[in-house]
Each structure stands twice: as C-alpha cells, then as structure tokens.
Amino acid sequence: MAARVRELMDAQHHCFLGEIQPLLTAEGIVLLRPKDTSDEQERFLEEYFRRTLLPVLTPLAVDPGQPFPYLGNRSPCLVVSIRPSTPSALRVSSLSVIHIPSQVLPRFVALPDPTGRHVFMLLEDVIRQHLPSIYNGDDVLASHAIRVTRDADLHTRGGPEDLLTSIEEGVRERRLGTAVRLQYDAHLSSDIRATLLDELELSPEDLYEGEGFTAFSDLFQLYAALDLPRLKDRPLPPQPVPAFERAADIWTAIRAGDVLVHHPYHTFDAVTRFVREAAVDPKVLAIKMTLYRVSPASPIAHALRTAVENGKEVTVLVELQARFDEEANIRWARTLEEVGAHVVYGRAGLKTHCKACLVVRQETDGLRRYCHLATGNYNVRTGGVYGDLGLFTSRDSFGEDLTALFNLLTGHTRPRGFHHLLLAPTDLRDGLVERIRREADHARAGRSARIIAKMNGLVDRRLIEELYDASEAGVRIDLIVRGTCCLRPAVPGLSSRIRVISIVDRYLEHARIFYFENGENAEYLLASADWMPRNLDRRVEIAFPVLDPTLQTQVREILEIQLADTVKARRILHDGSSVRIR
C-alpha cells in the first residue's frame, strides 16, 4: 500500500511540476522562487514579511531539554538548521521548526509585476527568504519543508449514554493523534530525517520524499485568487425547480405530484426552502429530520431553530460521528437542544447516514405528511458541488414509512415492514439480492433483463457474487462506480456481460441510483448507501423508489447520459486498470 501511495504522490508531483506549472507560466501565472524576484518585488516582500508575516510566526527550538515541538496534522512546516554566528551566553539550538501559517494567511502571496503577469510566491518561500531576520543574524545553514499526517480516527471512550461528551473529547484529542506519515523535500539531510523519525516515532516506511511543494489542496486558494474566466469552467448557475416556481407555495407543488431535484443543476435552495417554509408556516405542527454533515452556518439548522422558536415540534437526529464534521454537528446539536428541540444521536454502534425530512402539516382535510428523501447530505456547501438526487412527495405511503423510520431512530422501536423503504442494516442487502436474482430469472426465461447501478463504491462480496451470477445467467449489467470497485468486469465465464465505467468531473458524482428492468415493471431506486459492508452493516441507510413514470424517465435519462459519456468517463478493465472512452 505504501509503495503504491508513493507512486501516486510521485505522479502528482511530476504532473504539477512538469505539466501544470509550465502551462500556468505560459498563461502569465507565475510561481516565483526567491532568487528570481526583482528589486521592486523584494521591497514588497520585505514590507509584507515585517508587517504581516513576522507577527504570526513562532520559531520553535528542537532542544533536548524541551518537548519536541508539536507538528500539526497536514500543516506545512519548515525545519531550519542554524549555527551561531558569534558566541553568546544564551545557548542556541541548531535545529528549529516554523509552522507555515497557511490557515490564517494565503499560501500564495501575490506580488506586484510591471508586465501584468499574475505573480505569486509560496508563503514558505517568503519565510525562507527572511530567515536571517527571524534568527537575528545567526547563520541559517538550510531549511526544508516537511508535513506530518496524523491518525485522524476518532477514539471515544464510554458508552452511548455519554456519547456527546465522549466525541467532544475525541475531537479535542484528534490534534494529538499518532503521526503516521512524514513528507519531506528531497534535500533534507539524513541526520535531520533520523531526528524526525525518532521524535515522531515513525519507521522508514512512513517517509515520503517529495519535490518542493506539498498540500496540493491549497491550489484551490490560487484558483480563487485569479479572476481569469477564460481559464475557468463556464459558470453554471443552478436552475429553479419548475414545479416550485409554478405553484402558489411549496406545499401545493408537492401535493400536485412528486418532485425530483437533481443537484447541483437544480438549486439546493429548494431543500432549504422546504425546511424554511415549514419553520414559519402556522399550519405546520412538526418537523423531523436527520442531519449527517452540517455546515457551521447551516441555513437548514437555522431554520430548525426558528421552527422551535415558533412552537413547532422539532425532532433532529444529529450524527455526531460524521468524520471531520463532528465539531459543527456538536455545536448545532447543543444549539438546537438549548432552544428546545428533541435532539437524538442515533443507535449505538451504527452511524445514521440516511437523509430524510418529514413535515407534518394541518390541512382542511386533516393532517398531511410531506417528505423529502435524498442521496446526499443536507449541506448547502456540498449541495453546490455534489451530484445528488432528492425526492419530494406527499404520498401517504411515504409519510407512513418516514414516521416509522423516525420512530425507529428516536424511540429505538423494532423495525417493521415498510411500504417502500429498504433499510440497512436490516434488509437493504437482501432487498438488492432479491432484485438481482429477479433479473437473472427473467434472463433464464428468455426475457430481456438489465441492471444499471450507479454508486460511489462497490466492495460488498455478496452483491458482487450475485452480479457475477446474474451476468452469466444473461443479464446485461452496466455499473457506474466513481471510486473503489472490487468487481472484475468482462471476464469470460465470470462477468462477461458486466461493463463498469467511472466518471470524475467538475461535480462529484455522489448519487446512488439502482435500475432493475423487471420485465414490464421497471424499478428505480435511489439510496443513501453504496454497496459496501460499512453501509450495509454498520450504518442506518435507506433506499427508496421513484414511482412517478415521468420522474422515472428523468432518472433513466441521467443514467443513459452518463453511460454514453465520451469526455470524462473511463472504462474499468478486468485487471483494475482503466482507459478513456472515446
């Protein structure tokens, strides 16, 4: 695994340095090295360093009499070798560490350029250029960029009765996680490397040599800093949902028929509006909702707070263990509890990953339940870049299903049969197996049989074996798997009728869609779950059908468009490699 990661990191560096950076330079976007600055740029950098950078820098000595400096997770640092230039009564350490403050200052410092180019210097190079000012004239022998990766798993103690406190403690302790990787530039001396290995308790297998630049994710900062429309994707403003635009209000629109939304092509405001209008509508009695990843300024969470303040019964299941979103989730859980919402944290040992919202509204003919079910999170930020599907419906059968689902989640009632939902970890895998076998039976009987399944990951052994059996029974199977795929397609006698493609594009393909031809009664399922053991065994997930024929056609079009892709799609081969589809 480590060897393969090294290969990928090398390829990443070669791609950036050998391909991307020359193309940027050709477009007048220059990453300048300190030795290449003009006099004007040097004066600018001197002022920038003195006024902006120096006040936030803290050199930390590596001294046998002191604890080794803390190196933050995935935070670029400089390790600096120093030699006293003159005798001093104060002992001077020969080694020092400086954190590069890229969390509070831009990683790419914009420089003036008389030719009109877009010139930047890496923040660490600005620091390097001015190290003598930090070390007051001592000889700076060398400086090297390093970056430590720490174990980010959340280690909690205690039982479910104190889950919130336990996770809060785990989040605080995460910053002190065990070091698992050290990235360093190629010129770092063996002595310093040995010191870092010893202090970080790493083995040689944990070392990853790089070339100059780490933390490529910071390139998003450079992208944001450049106002160059010709080099960027053409803006695709999200479109309003036609059914909601035509109707007098959102409730009228949903009563008129099921509504399918495809984000980010449809505005995510359709979802926030659903909760926002429920929060202020005098006829709404109750809102029940799952929250898996909550943004710090979530308009949905704000609307739920408003709903409580307006006297609604609000029940929210907040998943505290959503990886890297724990802090925001904890803050909103406490905020909603403080204003009077019923906040629960799910069932012990299971992450609640399903996405569902139930609104109960008093109408002239009695109570009506409005439902929203989705493949993606209730998160405005990801709603603008993740490709997901959501379904609005007021069908009684869906309302009964969501009522039962929330009773199961909040009251820990026993699961019962649903009208429409397939639930993990109880029956989702079995429901998928049943449908795969049904297609195989159609094929054996000489009828047309087809499966199209779109997901993020395909790992589950049982489902893979069922797909193999269906393929050899005569079922035509198309899989769209963005990430990990453990199935081997196009192997004679095993998977000869299975085709797998992967699409990675401008928007992250995140929707899970499962199509089963089923003779004349095609079935379309949307789901929060991938076909992976973690989803099917260790999470609460749902799959739900699209029943409206018009919406089924829309879902089928989404699948067929992706299967016909010749721009971003790659075909996965039997050995796990991939080729572009032309």
User: Count of CB atoms within 10 A of residue 25's CB?
Assistant: 12
Kindly provide the residue ranges of all beta strands, DSSP E only, lying in 412-493, ordered along the sequence.
422-424, 450-455, 476-481
What values do phi and psi take at 523, rounded to 5? -120, 130
Decide if 481 contacts 464 (C-beta within 8 A).
no
Cα torsion 401, 404, 408, 411 to 10°: value is 150
DSSP label of 257: S
Sequence-ordered list of residues with C-beta below 8 angstroms from that of 135, at least 6 positions apart, any chain: 59, 80, 82, 96
Decide if 481 contacts 460 (C-beta within 8 A).
no
* Structure-token pair, residue 208: 């990853």
H helix or E strand, kind and range, residue 194: helix 190-200
H helix or E strand, kind and range, residue 207: strand 207-210
DSSP label of 204: G
Sequence-ordered list of residues with C-beta below 8 angstroms from that of 99, at least 6 positions apart, any chain: 57, 58, 60, 71, 72, 75, 76, 77
User: Count of CB atoms within 10 A of residue 553's CB?
Assistant: 11
Q: From CA 219, how far away is CA 226, in angstroms rounded?
A: 11
The C-alpha R_g of the chain, in whole angstroms, comes to 28
**Active-site choice (118, 353, 442, 510):** 353
* Structure-token pair, residue 400: 């009964």
DSSP label of 265: T
Q: From CA 145, how far away is CA 134, in angstroms rounded?
A: 17
From the centroid of its chain, how far is CA 15?
A: 23
HSE at residue 288, side-chain half, CA atoms within 13 A, is: 22
What values do phi and psi take at 261, rounded to 5? -120, 140
DSSP label of 528: S
Decide if 336 contacts 301 (C-beta within 8 A).
yes
Is 372 an annotated catalytic residue?
no
Output the CA–CA distances (angstroms, integers) from residue 562 to 51, 406, 548, in the order listed: 52, 34, 22
Q: From CA 10, how far away is CA 5, in angstroms rounded?
A: 9
Q: From CA 52, how far away is CA 41, in angstroms rounded?
A: 16
| Helix ranges, 445-502 (H) | 461-473
Catalytic residues: 353
